[in-house]
Amino acid sequence: MSTLPTNKMKRRVNIAVFLGIVAVTAYICFNLFNVSVVKSEYYRSKANNQQLDSFTINANRGTIYDSKGKVLAQSSTVWDVIINPSDINKYDKDKKEEICKSLSDICGVDYDKLIEACDKTEMRYYTVKTKVDKEVKDAVSQLRITNKLATYSVYTVENTKREYPNESLAASVIGFVNFDGNGVLGVEAYYDEYLQGVDGKIVTARDTHGKAMPYDYETRYDAQNGNSLYLTIDEVLQYSLEKNLELALTQHKAQNRACGIIMNAKTGAILAMATAPTFNLNKPDELSDYFQAKYSEYEEGLRAETGHTEEEITELLKKKREELSNRQWNNKAIGELYIPGSVFKVVTAASALEEQLLTPDTVVANCVGGAYVSDVFIRCWNLGGHGTMDLQNALIKSCNPSFIAIGNLLGARNFTNYFESFGLTEKTGIDLPGEAGSLYVEYDKMGKVELASSAFGQTNKITPIQMITAYAAVINGGYLVTPHVVDKIVDSKGNVVKTNATEVKRQVISEETSASMRMMLENVVENNGGSNAYIQGFRIGGKSGTSQKLDEYSSENMRYVGSMCCFTPADDPEIIMLVMIDEPFNGKYYGSAVAAPVISAVFSECLENVGIYPQYTAEELAAQDTTVPYVLGMDGLAAISALNSGGLKYEIVGDEHGTVKNTVPGASLTIPKGGTVIVYMDDSEPKTVLVPNVVGMTVDQANNAITSAGLNISLSGGAVENDKAKAISQSVEAGTVANKGTVVRVEFIVDDETG
C-alpha cells in the first residue's frame, strides 16, 4: 500500500497552513490596530514618559495689599529637592551611599529612607524635601557639581512659599493657604481662583539610555503668576483695633472672644475687621495663648476623670485641638450669631420715625422699671424706672419699656417688614467665606411677647456684620450697602481685572429720618457730660447694648454680650465702628463699659490718620493738657515766667535766684493745664510721695486725692465730665513711691446701660 500523501491529504494540509497563516496575520493586524488606533494614546504617552521628563514650574500666587499698598501676604521662591533613583542606582554602592549621606545632611532628612528610595530602580522621581531656602538649594547644586552627577540625578525645582509679614494682622480677613497652595479662610479662599495663577512646566528629552539630553532638547512653558488683591483694610486702623480688642479681652476676661468692625458708612468698604484673640498666619495650626489655656484646662479635667485609656485620651485631645483650631480660625464678625441688645434699638426707632408714628419729642412710655406684656413682666435694666420717656430720652437712657411701646406702635407686620428691609433676614453678601445667616422670629410666629422683646434687641440672633450694615443704613441717608473687603484685583502687569464698586441694595428710610436719627444718637454720646465713647473735639453718635444669652444660660448663671456701635462725624458720617465683647467675666458687662472704651481708644488713635480732625471750642482749647517748657539752666525768675506763660503752677526747691537744675515732670512731658511743676534749683534728690488708690472714686474725689498727695492728675475717658463716672484704673500703681509732681493718668467710665 502506498504511503505517499494523496491529493486529498495535500489539500487538507494546505488548507490548514493557509488558515494558520490567516489566523496569525489577523492576530498581528488586530494588535497593530489596537496599538496604533485603539490604545495609541496610551502607548504614545508611555513612550513619551520614557523619552521625556516634565517638571512643574509653580506659578507665584498673587500678592495681597492693604488699601495703601502695604504687603499683607506674598509668595517667595523656594525649591523642592528631587532625585532620580533610576539614575543614582547606576553608580556603585559607595557612590550611592555618599550621595544619600550628603543629601541627608544638607536637607535634614532620614538617611535610611533615602537609601530605600534609591533602591527602587523603577522610580525616576522622588522628592527629598519640599520648599527649602536658597542656602539649601545652593548646597544641593554644589553637591551635584562636586560629584559630577548627571543634571537630573539630583536637582532642584522652583516652588513657592506663602508668607505673611505681619503674622497675625487681619488674620481672619486674609486667611492662609494649605500645603497644596489652596486658599483656606478669608480672601485667600474667597478669591482663590484669582490668586492662583497657572503653573508652567519644563519638558526635557532623554536619549536611548535614559540619560538627560542637552538643553537644546528642553522646552520651557513659563508660569502665569496670579492676580493681586488690594484690600479696603487700612493697616493703621487694623492694628489699633486688634490691639485694643486684645486689651479688652484680657481686662474683662471675655470667655467667648471679642470682635470689631470699622466700615465706611457710605460705601460699605471694610477698613478694619478683627477677632480677638487672633492667630499667626505663618503658623495657623498653633493655638493662641487664649485657646491653649482652654486646651490645657480640658486636658487636665480629662486626665482627672477615671475610666479613660491612654488611647481614648489621645483621641479626645486630638478632637479637642481640632475643635479649638476651628474656633480660632472662625471670623466672629461674620460667622457667629449674637443677640444685639440695645444697639438694635436704632432700627426700631428709625422704623417708627419712618412710619411717622412719632417724633423725637413724642412721649412713648412712663417707665416704672418694667412692663407687662400678655401677663409676662419684662424688666428694664433700671429697676427703679426712668419715669416719663420721649423717644430721644428713651435712646439716651436705653429704656426697654419705651421700646416695647414703640414696637407695639409699629405692630408685628411693620416690624418684620423693616427687619427684612434693613437686611437682617439675609446674608450681607460680604466677599468673605463663612458668613452665617440670622435666626429670627417670622411674622406668623410673632406674638406680643416676641414683638416686645425683639423691639429692644433680644430674641433675634444676627451677625455683627449684619448689625453694622443695618446701622449704617440708619445714619447714612437710609441706604443699605453691601460690605466688601477687596477694593480691586490687578494682574501681574498692573492691569485692573476687577473693581468692587459701592453696591446699594435699596433705600430703607428717608434722608430726613436718617438725619433725625443722627441727631438723636449724637445726643446719646454727649448726654450728661459725655458717655464712655465721647472724645473731645469730635462729633460722635452711637448706641451701646447689653444682651442676655437667654438661650444658653439660666438666670442664675447668666452670661452677657456687651457691644456698642458709633459713627463719626455725626452730621455727615464717614466711619462707623462696632465692637462686641462676648461673655465679659470680670464684674462689668454693660456695652457702655466694656465696648465703648475700645471705640474711644481706636478713634482717638486713628481718626486723624483717615482725615477726620478735631474741632475744639475756645473753652476746650484753653483746658487742654500742655507740655512742660524747657527751663534747665535758666535763672529762677525766667523759669517762673516760662511756667506762668504755659498756664502752669510751680513749687521752687532751693534758692529761686539760682539756676534750674531739674524739674518734675521733665521738659516736654505732658501735664494738665493748671498742674504743678516742681523746680529744683540745686542738685538735691527729688522729693517723693506715696501714690494713693483712687480706683472707684468719682472725678472730684480722685482729683482731690491725687493733688493732695503732691501729684498731678490727668483725666482719661469720654465720661470725665459725667457725674456718674468712676475711676477704673490709674497709670501709677497705688502704694508706689513716686517723685512729687509726677503725672498720674486716671481713666474713668460710666458703668450702666445708658449711652
% of the chain residues with pLDDT over 70: 90
- Label residue 522 exposed, middle or buried (CB < 10 Å: 0-12, 13-18, 19+): buried
Count of C-beta atoms within a 10 Å radius of residue 6? 9
Rounded to 5 degrees, φ, ψ at 159 are: -140, 180
Half-sphere CA count of 549, side-chain side, radius 13 A: 18
Judged against a pLDDT cut of 80, whether residue 47 lies above it is answered with no
User: What is the number of residues in the chain?
Assistant: 755
Strand order in the sheet with 649-653: 649-653, 676-680, 662-664
Measured in whole angstroms, how far is the alpha carbon of residue 147 from the centre of its chain?
51
Region 481-487 average pLDDT: 98
Rounded to 5 degrees, φ, ψ at 47 are: -65, -40
Compute the mean pLDDT over every residue in the chain, rounded to the nearest whole number: 90
**Which is more confident, 510 or 1?**
510
Region 311-318 average pLDDT: 92
| CA distances for 534 relative to 168, 458, 518, 603, angstroms | 30, 26, 15, 10
Region 248-273 average pLDDT: 97
The whole-model pTM stands at 0.85
Judged against a pLDDT cut of 60, whether residue 293 lies above it is answered with yes
Q: Which one-letter DSSP state was computed for residue 659?
A: B
Amino acid (1-letter code) at residue 648? L
Q: What's the CA gap between 219 and 55, in Å, rounded? A: 10
Write the DSSP string, 365-401.
EEESSEEEETTEEEE-SSTT--EEEEHHHHHHHT-HH
Q: What's the CA gap between 281 and 335, in Å, rounded? A: 19
The pLDDT confidence band at residue 1, using thresholds 50, 70 and 90, is very low
The pLDDT confidence band at residue 656, using thresholds 50, 70 and 90, is confident
Q: Which one-letter DSSP state was computed for residue 505?
A: E
Of 124-128, 184-188, 237-241, 366-370, minimum mean pLDDT range: 124-128
What value, to the nearest 5°, has the Cα angle with vertex 391 and ends 389 and 396? 80
Q: 67: which 3 cell numbers?
A: 488699601
CATH superfamily of 54-231: Penicillin-binding protein 2a (Domain 2) (3.90.1310.10)
* CA 513, 514, 519, 523 torsion-angle sign: positive
Q: What's the CA gap between 440 and 424, in Å, rounded? A: 9
Please, which residues have CB within 8 angstroms of residue 137's CB and are 6 or more apart in sequence?
79, 81, 156
Q: Does domain 619-749 have CATH number 3.30.10.20?
A: yes
CATH superfamily of 335-615: DD-peptidase/beta-lactamase superfamily (3.40.710.10)
- Provide the 3-class DSSP secondary structure of residue 723: coil
Of 56-65, 401-410, 666-675, 693-702, minimum mean pLDDT range: 56-65
Judged against a pLDDT cut of 80, whether residue 43 lies above it is answered with no
The reply to whether omega before 277 is within 30° of 0 (cis) is: yes
Count of C-beta atoms within a 10 Å radius of residue 333? 26
Please, which residues have CB within 8 angstroms of residue 279's CB and are 6 or more apart in sequence?
168, 171, 286, 287, 288, 328, 329
Judged against a pLDDT cut of 90, whether residue 143 lies above it is answered with no
What pLDDT score was predicted for residue 55? 66
The pLDDT confidence band at residue 161, using thresholds 50, 70 and 90, is confident
Q: 53: which 3 cell numbers?
A: 521628563
Stated as kind and residue range, the H or E segment containing 219 is: strand 218-221
Measured in whole angstroms, how far is the alpha carbon of residue 176 from the centre of its chain?
12
Are 378 and 408 in contact, with CB atoms under 8 Å apart? no
Of 190-199, 428-437, 613-622, minimum mean pLDDT range: 613-622
Q: What's the CA gap between 378 and 374, in Å, rounded? A: 10
Q: 299: which 3 cell numbers?
A: 486636658
**3-state secondary structure string across 693-704:** CCCCCCHHHHHH
The pLDDT confidence band at residue 8, using thresholds 50, 70 and 90, is low
**Residue 423 backbone zone (phi > 0: left; psi -120 to 50: alpha; other: beta):** left
Of 502, 456, 475, nearest to 567 by C-alpha is 475
Q: What's the CA gap between 224 and 196, in Å, rounded? A: 9
Q: pLDDT, tens digit, for every residue of 522-581?
A: 999 998 666 899 999 999 999 999 999 988 888 878 899 999 999 999 999 999 999 999
% of the chain residues with pLDDT over 90: 67
Judged against a pLDDT cut of 50, whether residue 215 lies above it is answered with no
Q: What's the CA gap between 642 and 637, in Å, rounded? A: 9
Of 271, 350, 329, nearest to 578 by C-alpha is 271
Write the DSSP string, 137-161.
HHHHHHHHHHTT--TTTEEEEEEEE
Please, which residues have CB within 8 angstroms of residue 741's CB and are 6 or more apart in sequence?
651, 663, 664, 665, 676, 677, 678, 686, 710, 711, 712
Write the DSSP string, 73-127.
EEEEEEEEEEE-HHHHTTS-HHHHHHHHHHHHHHHT--HHHHHHHHT-TT---EE
Measured in whole angstroms, how far is the alpha carbon of residue 318 from the centre of its chain?
25
- Label residue 93 exposed, middle or buried (CB < 10 Å: 0-12, 13-18, 19+): exposed
Judged against a pLDDT cut of 70, whether residue 688 lies above it is answered with yes
Of 46-60, 328-342, 703-717, minimum mean pLDDT range: 46-60
Judged against a pLDDT cut of 80, whether residue 696 lies above it is answered with yes
- Provide the 3-class DSSP secondary structure of residue 558: coil
Region 117-138 average pLDDT: 84
Judged against a pLDDT cut of 60, whether residue 212 lies above it is answered with no
Q: What's the CA gap between 751 and 755, in Å, rounded? A: 10
Residue carrying C-alpha cell 487672633: 278
The pLDDT confidence band at residue 41, using thresholds 50, 70 and 90, is low
Q: What's the CA gap between 615 and 535, in Å, rounded? A: 11
**Which is more confident, 437 or 5?**
437
The pLDDT confidence band at residue 160, using thresholds 50, 70 and 90, is confident
Half-sphere CA count of 647, side-chain side, radius 13 A: 12
Judged against a pLDDT cut of 70, whether residue 510 lies above it is answered with yes
Q: Which one-letter DSSP state was computed for residue 61?
A: P
What pLDDT score was predicted for residue 351? 98
